[in-house]
């Protein structure tokens, strides 16, 4: 499970059955660069260069902080058993407090 900022979206052309209809969010994980309290506005220096892709059934907007979980069970619970990926947005974050 990771905490990250939604920074974009991906659209498929030719794709596996069952992927149609899912919004694919691109998420940059937070890294630690000193104590901070986050709501929505996350400074660039707190964001990793890595991109994690996840299906989003919750409706997170670009710029929002989210929790992304990775696993079969979460996929079944959140996106359905036939979804061909197990990376899922499970929460839009209201507040994150990271200390030293």
**Using CB under 8 A, which residues numbered 53 to 82 contact a copy of itself?**
53-54, 58-59, 62-63, 67, 69, 71-75, 77-78, 81-82
Closest by CA position to 93, among listed 32, 40, 34, 26: 40
| Binding residue (CB under 8 A) for a copy of itself from 14, 21, 41, 56 | 14
What is the C-alpha separation between 81 and 87, in angstroms, rounded? 13
Please select the residue that binds a copy of itself; options are 9, 21, 23, 41, rule is CB under 8 A.
9
User: Can residue 87 be called a binding residue for a copy of itself (CB under 8 A)?
Assistant: yes
Angstrom distance (rounded) from CA 66 to CA 52 = 12
* Greatest Cα pair distance in the chain: 46
Phi, then psi, of 24 in degrees rounded to 5: -105, 115
Contact residues toward a copy of itself (CB under 8 A) are 1-3, 7-19, 24, 26, 28-33, 44, 47-54, 58-59, 62-63, 67, 69, 71-75, 77-78, 81-82, 84-88, 90-100
């Amino acid at each position: 499970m990771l905490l990250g900022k939604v920074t974009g979206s991906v659209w498929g052309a030719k794709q596996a059955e069952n992927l149609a209809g899912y919004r694919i969010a691109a998420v940059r994980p937070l890294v630690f660069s000193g104590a901070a309290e986050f709501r929505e506005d996350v400074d660039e220096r707190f964001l990793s260069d890595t991109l994690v892709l996840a299906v989003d059934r919750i409706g997170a907007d670009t710029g929002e902080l989210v929790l992304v979980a990775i696993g079969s069970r979460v996929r079944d619970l959140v996106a359905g058993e036939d979804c061909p990926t197990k990376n899922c947005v499970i929460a839009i974050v209201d507040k994150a407090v990271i200390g030293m």
